Each structure stands twice: as C-alpha cells, then as structure tokens.
C-alpha cells in the first residue's frame, strides 16, 4: 500500500488523506483510529487492492470509483450507531441529486440504488471500550466513472446514467461537506423519518439471509433501533438487526 498521502482540510474541518493505492481504506482507517487522529478524518484511495464489503465479500474497486472511509467518534448510545450508516446512505442520495439530478433510494441495511441497481454501499466498523465508542469507521464505495459489470450483478455508475465522465473530485468534496454537516446535527428520529421517505425496502417482499436461517415475508417498517420489521409468511413479525436483504427481482451484488 502507498505510505504517502496528500492531506487537505476542508471548510468543515474534515481532514482528508488521499492515497493512490491501499489494501483497503478500512484497513488504513483502523490503524490510524487507534491513534489520536482528529474526529472527521477521511481516508480516500484511487484504488483498493483488497477492498471488502459486508460479510467479508470482495468490494470491487475499479479505477474511477470513490473509495473512502470516514472516521468518527460518536458521543451517543451504541444502539443508535445505525443512524450513522443510514445518514451516510441518505447523504449519498442527497449529493447525487444535488450535483447530477440523479434520483436514488436507500435499501436496508446499507445500499444506495438507482432504478433497482446498486450505485453505492456503506460499511461500518466500530471499536468499543467501557461501553463507549473509541471510533466508528464508515466505509463508502460509489460507482462514479468506473465501468460496472451488469452481467455479473445489478450495478450502475454515474457514468452509466449520464453517459459521460464526471468530476470525481467535485463529488468527493461535496459529499464530505454534506457528511460533515449531517453528522454535526445527527438526530435519530429525523434520520429514521428521512430513511423511510427515501427507501425502496418497506412494502416489498423480501428474503433475509441470516447466518443460521433464511426469513421470507414482507418488509413492513423500521423500528427505533434501525431494525427491519418483517411480517413472515406465517403471519409472525420479526425485527431483523443484521442480515442480507434480497428483494426478488434484484440480482445479488457483491458490494
């Protein structure tokens, strides 16, 4: 991995470290999170050699995409850490519309979709001590100018939508400014309200793949802790806090 980075501090006191290539931005973020790096430090790489998504899947990191990890040190209850995942996905939705007039939706638990195809994903990793956050690292992958292999999985990029290259650095700058603003005023109830407004999961038939079983039914709501409420085919309801959510008709994406 590259050991040198260019460092820029934005107008919102975000400390941005730019690398040409890393194993993964999450790996770099984990290492420096253990030091005294400032809150709102961001690791950004042009390329990841070993990028990863949820459940240890490979996170494809073709040239032209945005690959970054945001380091934050939340002060609120651990059970509400989902609000950062939801807020990040919502901020991606907002930024896509703000810069490119692209209408996107969030899919539980961590995806951003355009026309039922994945354009971005969010991955979080935390370290706790004495029931307090030491850090919460938020990995972000966005398909910008990179090509997406739609034969293998249902994905899309900004380039696919607009049929032209866009200014990736402008998107990084705007996204980071938007995230800094969002995180400075994060409120769980407002995050949930906004997530419900922009989601494409509630009301859909879903299949939730857990480590030990699979649940099928209809997604009917999100509870106060960010869990997906599924009404199963037998009529019973269950709150799902973690798992793969598959909506029939969507191809499974490795991101």
Higher pLDDT, 74 or 252: 74
What is the model's pLDDT at position 79? 86
Q: Which residue(s) pair with 221 in the sheet? A: 229
From residue 48, give the alpha-carbon distance in Å to each of 21, 24, 26, 247: 6, 5, 10, 29
Domain(s) labelled CATH 3.30.930.10 in the chain stretch across 6-198
For 84-98, how does the pLDDT look when each residue is reduced to its tens digit (9 = 90+)?
A: 999 999 999 999 999
Rounded CA gap, 140 and 175, in Å?
11
Q: How many helices, marked H, and strands, marked E, lie in the chain? A: 5, 13
What is the model's pLDDT at position 134? 86
Residue 1 has pLDDT above 60, yes or no: no
Domain(s) labelled CATH 2.30.30.100 in the chain stretch across 205-246
**3-state SS class at 177:** helix
Residues 171-198, mean pLDDT to the nearest whole number: 95
Q: Within its chain, how far is the Cα of 134 from the centroid?
A: 20
Give the confidence band of 4 by pLDDT, cuts at 50, 70, 90. very low
Q: Which two tokens stand for residue 48?
A: 């990841």
CATH (one of 3.30.930.10, 3.40.50.1000, 3.90.1150.10, 3.30.70.20) for 6-198: 3.30.930.10
- Give the architecture (CATH level 2) of 205-246: Roll (2.30)
Please state, for a pLDDT cut of 90, what percent of the chain lies above it. 65
Predicted structure pTM score:
0.89
């Amino acid at each position: 991995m590259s050991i040198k980075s260019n460092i820029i501090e934005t107008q919102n006191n975000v400390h941005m470290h730019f690398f040409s290539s890393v194993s993964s931005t999450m790996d770099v973020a984990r290492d420096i999170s253990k030091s005294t790096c400032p809150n709102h430090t961001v690791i950004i790489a042009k390329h990841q050699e070993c990028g990863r998504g949820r459940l240890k899947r490979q996170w494809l990191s073709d040239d032209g995409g945005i690959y970054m990890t945001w380091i934050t040190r939340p002060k609120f209850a651990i059970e509400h850490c989902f609000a950062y995942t939801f807020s990040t996905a919502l901020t991606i939705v907002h930024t896509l519309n703000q810069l490119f007039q692209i209408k996107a939706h969030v899919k539980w638990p961590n995806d951003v979709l355009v026309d039922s195809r994945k354009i971005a994903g969010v991955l979080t990793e935390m370290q706790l001590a004495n029931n307090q956050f030491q850090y919460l690292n938020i990995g972000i992958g966005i398909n910008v100018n990179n090509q997406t292999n739609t034969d293998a999985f249902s994905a899309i990029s900004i380039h696919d939508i607009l049929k032209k290259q866009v200014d990736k650095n402008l998107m990084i700058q705007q996204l980071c400014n938007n995230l800094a603003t969002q995180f400075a005023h994060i409120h769980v109830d407002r995050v949930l309200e906004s997530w419900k407004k922009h989601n494409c999961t509630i009301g859909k038939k879903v299949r939730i793949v857990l480590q030990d079983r699979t649940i099928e039914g209809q997604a009917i709501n999100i509870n106060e802790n960010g869990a997906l409420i599924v009404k199963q085919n037998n009529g019973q309801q269950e709150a799902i806090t973690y798992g793969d959510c598959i909506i029939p008709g969507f191809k499974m994406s490795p991101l």
